[in-house]
Amino acid sequence: MLVSKNRGTSLLRSSEKSSLLRFLALYFILVTMILLLLGVFYYQSQEKLMFSNQKTILSEYANKQVKALKQLHNNFPNHVAIYPRSDKYRSAIYDIEGKKIFSLLKHDTEEDIRFESGIYRVGNTLHFVKILDDYYLGTKYLIIEVDEDMTWYKETMSSILAFGTLTLIVLIIFGLFFVGIFLRPMRNSIMLLDNFIKDTTHELNTPISAILANVEMMDTSVLSDRNKKRLSRINIAAKTVSHLYQDLTYLTLSHNRKSKDEWIDMKKLIEDRVEYFAILASAKKITFELDLKESAIFIDGVKIARVLDNLISNAIKYNKRNGKIYITLRKNYLQVQDTGIGIKSKKVQEIFERYTRFNTSEGGFGIGLNIVKSIIDEYNLKINVESVVDVGTTIRIDFTKGTLDG
């Protein structure tokens, strides 16, 4: 199986991404709301200004109309009287009881007319109401109507859009800058931990290698059964530390090294790793059930070994005593199933987070599955986790992308 590599694996952890996205979303919403609010205030102020300007003009029209009404009132003809008209405005007159005397308005339904002094908008027109002290022709309310000049609206909306967009862009740039500052403490703490692990790792290598080499070389035939057990415990402890060392080394040193991809016989690799972990599994009386078919993938040997080691190691670590580990290998997938404590469904998505541990009674830094995920992502493989509390966990890796080598 040939697998393609995903070099774009993000350096940000999902929690960092999540924090980043939440902060940006919150920031964007707040900034947009503030800008909208400012836009509304600006619009209202411009509208008030327009009303104020129009009020002055309409007030002059009203005074002119009152003069004409007065003249008509004082010289009212016997039969037909021509109501005073103007090209600049339309008008209507209402009596003290709100009854229409005469109207040239476009909008003069009951809903359109307000009997209070001032200016208001009706449809696309403006109404100005003047209350008369002398009721010429019975007029208490004189209403002047003009079509609304929408120039102010277009200019205001253009200003709001232009200024709003520009401000939004500037504030987003500021926001991105602030995000860097916002995430810096989190990054610093992670870097501090990484550096600590990196420094510690160097000091582990030599003593572990020495312990393991000497344990392997020991002549167990001369040892008593008690001492054989003790040696076995030393071996288990050393291998556990060795596994941790391998993870830490991978995480801190090998992660950025150039991959040496080659064809890996998965069946052989699994059998090797199962043999390596057999002594750890036997300590908890865990047995392996292997169902392996021939399969090979084109991948870095160190990396796929880290994947396998971590899956098997976790299956042992979180298994019950006398439990079982089923390993299934097919041409297109690998599956590791344990009979362990399981994980709550809500927590399943978090198991790939670095430093996440679901059982503090077990050892480890919580980096194993994070390494698995980073390798899986790098090679565009697909990983699926199914878990039932107190029943067990099944992790399946699909070699979905790539070319079958036969």
Partner 1 sequence: MVKKIILLGVVCSTVLGADEPKNIYEKNCIPCHRYAPASLEKLFMVYLKSYSGELSVKGAIKAFLKNPTESDSKMNNTFIENFSVKDKTTLTDEELEEAIDTYWELYNVRKKLK
Single residue of 79, 226, 321, 346 touching partner 1 by CB under 8 A: 79
Smaller CB separation from partner 1, 94 or 250: 94
Query: What are the start-end ranges of the H helices in 250-328?
Result: 266-283, 301-317
Residue 195, both tokens = 């550096």
Residue type, 191: M
The helix-helix angle for 301-317 and 225-249 (nearest 10°) equals 130
**CB 138 to partner 1: min, Å:** 5
110 is an interface residue for partner 1 by CB under 8 A:
no
Single residue of 80, 181, 217, 222 touching partner 1 by CB under 8 A: 80
115 is an interface residue for partner 1 by CB under 8 A:
no
**CB 93 to partner 1: min, Å:** 9
Backbone angles phi, psi at 269, to 5 degrees: -60, -45
Which residues on neighbouring strands pair with residue 333, listed in sequence order? 398
Smaller CB separation from partner 1, 39 or 84: 84
156 is an interface residue for partner 1 by CB under 8 A:
no
97 is an interface residue for partner 1 by CB under 8 A:
yes
Q: How far apart are CA 24 and CA 18, in angstroms?
A: 10
**CB 70 to partner 1: min, Å:** 9
Which residues on neighbouring strands pair with residue 127, listed in sequence order? 120, 145
Cα–Cα distances (Å) from 265 to 27, 47, 271, 307, 330, in that order, read: 51, 77, 10, 14, 12
Q: Which stretch binds partner 1 (CB under 8 A): 91-99, 161-169, 287-295, 372-380?
A: 91-99
**CB 57 to partner 1: min, Å:** 25
Tracing tokens 């199914």 back to the chain, one arrives at: 386
138 is an interface residue for partner 1 by CB under 8 A:
yes
120 is an interface residue for partner 1 by CB under 8 A:
no
**CB 170 to partner 1: min, Å:** 59
**CB 34 to partner 1: min, Å:** 51
Cβ burial of 113 (10 Å; 0-12, 13-18, 19+) is buried
90 is an interface residue for partner 1 by CB under 8 A:
no
Number of residues interacting with partner 1: please give it, by CB under 8 A. Answer: 23
**CB 82 to partner 1: min, Å:** 6
Q: How far apart are CA 351 and CA 357, in angstroms?
A: 8
Residue 275, both tokens = 């043999």
User: Smallest Cα–Cα separation from 374: which of 273, 290, 197, 250?
Assistant: 250
137 is an interface residue for partner 1 by CB under 8 A:
yes
Tracing tokens 């411009």 back to the chain, one arrives at: 46
Q: Which stretch binds partner 1 (CB under 8 A): 112-120, 137-145, 291-299, 314-322?
A: 137-145
Q: How far apart are the first and last CA of the chain?
A: 8
**Touching partner 1, residues 19-78 (CB under 8 A):** 73-74, 76-78
Concatenated DSSP letters of 275-291 = HHHHHHHHHTT-EEEEE
- Using only C-alpha atoms, the chain has a radius of gyration, in whole angstroms, of 41
Smaller CB separation from partner 1, 37 or 131: 131
Single residue of 136, 250, 318, 358 touching partner 1 by CB under 8 A: 136
81 is an interface residue for partner 1 by CB under 8 A:
yes
User: Smallest Cα–Cα separation from 312: which of 284, 348, 332?
Assistant: 284
Single residue of 28, 102, 120, 163 touching partner 1 by CB under 8 A: 102
**CB 44 to partner 1: min, Å:** 36
**CB 118 to partner 1: min, Å:** 20
**CB 117 to partner 1: min, Å:** 16
Smaller CB separation from partner 1, 134 or 294: 134
Q: Which stretch binds partner 1 (CB under 8 A): 43-51, 99-107, 121-129, 257-265?
A: 99-107
Q: How far apart are CA 267 and CA 330, in angstroms?
A: 9
Q: How far apart are CA 257 and CA 81, in angstroms?
A: 101
Residues that bind partner 1 (CB under 8 A): 73-74, 76-83, 95-97, 99, 101-102, 134-140
